[in-house]
């Protein structure tokens, strides 16, 4: 048996000023990986790609990885990049295989297609109509009918923070192999609910998602082979952006449809709990100042790059300095220009320079706003480390050249690349022990919880400025299907 494994994974923030060209579709700098390089990179990782490889090897299948492309959330994928990656996958499948396993996100927008995954899957299906297709999806997928129509099985993560990415991939592969072996006849039911949940209200160990996921778990079993719930990614302005449920059923008895309905009924009844009420961030910083025992996390939510943030908003950092917070660690802030200037100055140099705020946020009609800082360059690093976990364990991270600027009250980590602070190693790599700091300003929303969250004494949400903002009223939605709750109070389900 020959199995093709491929990845085109992007969560597109359509309000981001950063277009996503082929070169930035990593997994590391320099574009997509292929063949042996992709295998070496993803073998052993705790994501669907890693699970697909393990599963194929366990059954002695021949593996081909024609391409693996992904990057952190940013603006639309360039049409050229999308077309190139899609063509490589189509060509590989057309050349012959017994199955295709795809590691996709499910909220990708290209310059020409609002439903990137739907377009990709349709192209593959057209190229090789008989090849069974299994798709592993992110919890934040904006699922579309077109995606469902053009694959055989699809399974989403069940956790946020995502700690079951491997399991979701494994389940996808197992179901597809069972189908090929004739053990099951998968039928997918899919339904949506006109709710736009706030990302900050999607944690699966809290209301309202905990009850929804418990229901999904309870429904799974017997003929219901897999039950996925997708709260979606609200910062992708597309017609299919919304909460949805997807059930893979053995046979087509209609139980799947009923299960979708049960889940969506709970979600609809919980719709008010999906609203996040942001306090003014200046007050949040003041609240942090009144606390003494650290580490105290200040979450710069709006600039979280895993929501598409530019990772260069200085609003929270500026406010923390203005209010006189001390013993602060902040970062990473993405600013290649500042990195170049500090590398040029060298370790030990005293320097005054503008940091961050280089990106204009056109969608929000806000100009970039750099912060002029004076301090000493204390360390220059190549920005590479391997994640120790407990999530993304084994993943190699490349922040590009990374510099520590010490301003006295604050140590700021400035990098060339945009990566969410997903591991304590991100600061240990540059010789800083985050647990020793009183304050840590982190550009994160929920994903910090298994790492920074469990070692912090306090966590303060600071919703300042950025295209990852928790305030939906900032965003000029155009494609979103209306009415949708809570943007439209008259929404019905
Ligand atoms: Zn996600």
Within 10 Å of residue 211's Cβ, how many Cβ atoms?
A: 15
The whole-angstrom separation of Cα 20 and Cα 359 is 15
202 C-alpha vs ligand 1 centroid, how far in Å? 10
Least confidently predicted of 6-10, 275-279, 379-383, 405-409: 275-279
Q: What is the mean pLDDT of the chain?
A: 96
Contact 68, 33 (CB under 8 A): yes
Q: Where does the pLDDT of residue 39 fall: very low under 50, low under 70, confident under 90, or very high at 90 and above?
A: very high
Distance CA 492, CA 484 (A): 8
Phi, psi at 250, each rounded to 5°: -85, 110
CA of 162 to the centre of ligand 1 (A): 7
400 CA to middle of ligand 1, Å? 23
Cα of 6 to ligand 1 centre, how many Å? Answer: 18
> Stretch 321-335: mean pLDDT, rounded?
97
Say how many Å lie between the CA of residue 372 and the centre of ligand 1: 34
**Which residue bears the tokens 């949708």?**
484
The pLDDT, as a whole number, for residue 328 is 98
Instruction: State the pLDDT at residue 484.
Output: 98
Residue 279 tokens read as: 């306090």
Compute, in angstroms, the gap from residue 485 CA to the centroid of ligand 1.
21
pLDDT tens for residues 391-413?
888 888 899 999 999 999 999 99
Q: Domain locations in the chain? A: 2-274, 281-469
| Mean local confidence (pLDDT), 168-176 | 98
The pLDDT of residue 28 is above 80: no
In angstroms, the CA 64 to CA 61 distance is 10
Instruction: Enter the CATH code of domain 2-274.
Output: 3.40.50.2300
- pLDDT per residue as tens digits for the range 420-450: 998 999 999 999 999 999 999 999 998 899 9
From ligand 1's centre to the CA of 155, what distance in Å? 13
Structure confidence at residue 252 as a pLDDT band (50, 70, 90): confident
Mean pLDDT of the region 75-95:
98
Please name which of 98, 102, 97 lies closest in space to residue 169, comparing C-alpha atoms: 102
Cα 138 to averaged position of ligand 1 atoms, centre (Å)? 5
Residue pointed to by tokens 């989403």: 156
Across 20-34, 55-69, 102-116, 272-286, least confident range: 20-34
pLDDT at residue 187, as a whole number? 98
On whether the CB atoms of residues 248 and 225 are closer than 8 A, the answer is yes
Question: Partners of 135 in the beta sheet?
Answer: 102, 154
Per DSSP, the three-state class of 422 is coil
Residue 188 CB burial class (10 angstroms; 0-12, 13-18, ≥19) = buried
The answer to whether 188 and 247 have CB atoms below 8 angstroms apart is yes
Residue 354 CA to ligand 1 centre (angstroms): 32
Q: In terms of DSSP bridges, do strands 68-70 and 2-9 run parallel, antiparallel, or are they unpaired?
A: parallel
Interatomic CA distance for residues 296 and 437, integer angstroms:
8
176 CA to centre of ligand 1 in angstroms: 23
Distance 438 CA to ligand 1 centre (A): 29
The strand pairing partners of 33, in sequence order, are 68
State pLDDT tens for residues 134-162: 999 999 999 999 999 999 999 999 999 89
Q: State the pLDDT at residue 12.
A: 98
Ligand 1 centroid to Cα of residue 10, in Å, is 10
Distance 468 CA to ligand 1 centre (A): 13
For residues 128 and 94, the answer to whether their CB atoms sit within 8 Å is yes
pLDDT for position 394: 80
Instruction: Give the whole-angstrom CA distance, residue 231 versus residue 234.
Output: 9
Question: Please, where are the H alpha helices in 197-324?
Answer: 209-219, 255-269, 281-290, 315-322
The band of 473, judged by pLDDT with boundaries at 50, 70 and 90, is very high
- pLDDT band of residue 389 (cuts 50, 70, 90) is confident
pLDDT of residue 170: 98
* pLDDT value, residue 175: 98
pLDDT at 26 over 90: no
pLDDT at residue 151 in the model = 98
């Amino acid at each position: 048996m020959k199995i093709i494994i491929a990845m085109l994974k992007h969560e597109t923030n359509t309000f981001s000023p950063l277009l996503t060209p082929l070169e930035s579709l990593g997994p590391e700098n320099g574009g997509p990986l292929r063949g042996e390089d992709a295998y070496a990179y993803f073998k052993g990782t705790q994501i669907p790609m890693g699970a697909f490889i393990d599963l194929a090897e366990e059954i002695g299948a021949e593996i081909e990885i024609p391409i693996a492309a992904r990057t952190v959330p940013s603006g639309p994928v360039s049409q050229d990049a999308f077309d190139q990656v899609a063509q490589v996958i189509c060509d590989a499948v057309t050349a012959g295989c017994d199955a295709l396993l795809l590691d996709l996100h499910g909220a990708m927008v290209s310059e020409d297609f609002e439903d990137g995954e739907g377009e990709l899957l349709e192209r593959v299906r057209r190229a090789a109509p008989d090849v069974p297709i299994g798709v592993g999806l992110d919890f934040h997928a904006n699922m579309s009918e077109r995606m469902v129509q053009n694959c055989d099985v699809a399974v989403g993560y069940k956790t946020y923070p995502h700690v079951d990415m491997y399991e979701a991939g494994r389940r996808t592969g197992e179901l597809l192999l069972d189908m090929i072996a004739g053990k099951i006849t998968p039928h997918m039911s899919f339904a949506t609910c006109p709710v736009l949940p706030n990302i900050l209200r999607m944690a699966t160990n809290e209301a309202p998602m905990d009850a929804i996921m418990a229901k999904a778990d309870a429904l799974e079993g017997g003929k219901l082979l897999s039950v996925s719930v997708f709260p979606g990614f609200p910062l992708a302005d597309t017609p299919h952006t919304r909460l949805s449920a997807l059930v893979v059923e053995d046979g087509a008895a209609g139980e799947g449809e009923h299960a979708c309905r049960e889940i969506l009924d709970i979600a609809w009844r919980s719709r008010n709990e999906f609203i996040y009420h942001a306090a003014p961030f200046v007050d949040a910083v003041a609240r942090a100042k009144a606390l003494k025992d650290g580490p105290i996390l200040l979450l710069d939510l709006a600039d979280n790059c895993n929501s598409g943030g530019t990772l260069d908003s200085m609003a929270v950092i500026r406010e923390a300095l203005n209010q006189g917070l001390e013993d602060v660690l902040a970062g990473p802030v993405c600013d290649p220009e500042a990195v170049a200037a500090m590398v040029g100055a060298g370790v030990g140099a005293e320097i005054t320079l503008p940091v961050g705020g280089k990106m204009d946020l056109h969608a929000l009609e806000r100009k970039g706003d750099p912060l002029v800082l004076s301090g000493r360059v204390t360390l220059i690093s190549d920005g590479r480390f391997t994640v120790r976990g407990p999530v993304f364990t084994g993943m190699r991270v490349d922040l590009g050249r990374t510099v520590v600027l010490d301003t006295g009250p604050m140590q700021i980590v400035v990098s060339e690349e945009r990566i969410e602070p997903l591991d304590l190693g991100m600061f240990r790599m540059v010789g800083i022990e985050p647990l020793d700091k009183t304050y840590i300003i982190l550009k994160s929303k929920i994903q910090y919880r298994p790492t920074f969250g469990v070692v912090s004494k306090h966590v303060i949400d600071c919703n300042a400025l950025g295209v990852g903002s928790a305030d939906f009223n900032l965003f000029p939605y155009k494609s979103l299907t209306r009415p949708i709750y809570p943007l439209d109070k008259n929404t019905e389900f």
